[in-house]
């Protein structure tokens, strides 16, 4: 039985998109017999200004999640927000889920700080050949058009579910 940690930071803050997908993923993994825990923004902090919550997201993703993985002895840590921990790339327990390539578009002349963050973490993650899953099959096909390294290891979501 695998022990899985899911970084569902915006649960309780956003009621659409990735938080809902992550909640559904938790249900599916539990049905497969996994022990699943999730990390989300503490409820006492959800009323803070959005830019502070976004900074807490980055801090949680980069530092808290790797520590939780290490001390919690998780088999896999899932990062479903298109980005992942750089520290986690040095281990082999992370799974980056890519939902879309909006931040990766080459045509942008000005790149936002959040897009730069996403691209940087994706590149480091793929450089170390860590697991990458795509929410949609089209994303797997389009991954070659974006600035991801050619040698990245790709794991489709269905393959991940089958191997847990």
- What is the tens place of the pLDDT at every residue in 97-151? 887 766 666 655 677 888 889 989 998 998 898 888 876 554 445 544 444 444 3
* The predicted structure's pLDDT at residue 80: 92
Q: Is there a contact between 164 and 2 (Cβ–Cβ < 8 Å)?
A: yes
* The predicted structure's pLDDT at residue 103: 65
Distances from the Cα of 62 to the Cα of 71, 112, 132, 148, 153, angstroms: 15, 19, 17, 20, 21
* The predicted structure's pLDDT at residue 67: 95
CATH number at residue 139: 3.40.50.2000
Give the count of beta carbons closer than 10 Å to the beta carbon of residue 30.
Answer: 12
Look up the domain containing 111 and give its range: 3-162
Q: What's the domain count of the chain?
A: 1
pLDDT at 94 over 80: yes
Q: H/E element holding 18?
A: helix 18-31
Question: Where are the extended beta strands (E) located within the chain?
Answer: 3-7, 35-39, 76-79, 94-98, 131-134
* The predicted structure's pLDDT at residue 149: 45
Question: pLDDT (tens digit, 9 = 90+) per residue, 12-55?
Answer: 998 888 899 899 989 989 998 999 999 999 999 999 999 999 99
The two tokens of residue 148 are 């991801």
Overall average pLDDT of the 69-95 stretch: 93
Question: pLDDT (tens digit, 9 = 90+) per residue, 52-81?
Answer: 999 999 999 999 999 999 999 999 999 999
At residue 152 the predicted structure's pLDDT band, cuts being 50, 70 and 90, is very low
């Amino acid at each position: 039985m695998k022990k899985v940690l899911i970084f569902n930071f915006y649960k309780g803050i956003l009621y659409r998109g990735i938080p809902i997908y992550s909640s559904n993923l938790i249900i599916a993994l539990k049905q497969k017999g996994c022990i699943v825990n999730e990390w989300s923004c503490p409820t006492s902090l959800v009323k803070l200004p959005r830019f502070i919550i976004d900074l807490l997201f980055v801090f949680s993703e980069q530092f808290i999640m790797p520590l939780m993985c290490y001390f919690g002895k998780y088999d896999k840590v899932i990062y479903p927000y298109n980005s992942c921990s750089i520290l986690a790339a040095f281990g082999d327990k992370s799974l980056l889920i890519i939902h879309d390539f909006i931040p990766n578009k080459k045509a942008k002349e000005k790149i936002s700080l959040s897009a730069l963050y996403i691209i940087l973490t994706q590149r480091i993650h793929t450089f170390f050949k860590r697991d990458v899953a795509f929410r949609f099959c089209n994303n797997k096909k389009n991954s070659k058009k974006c600035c991801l390294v050619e040698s990245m290891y790709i794991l489709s979501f269905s393959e991940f579910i089958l191997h847990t």
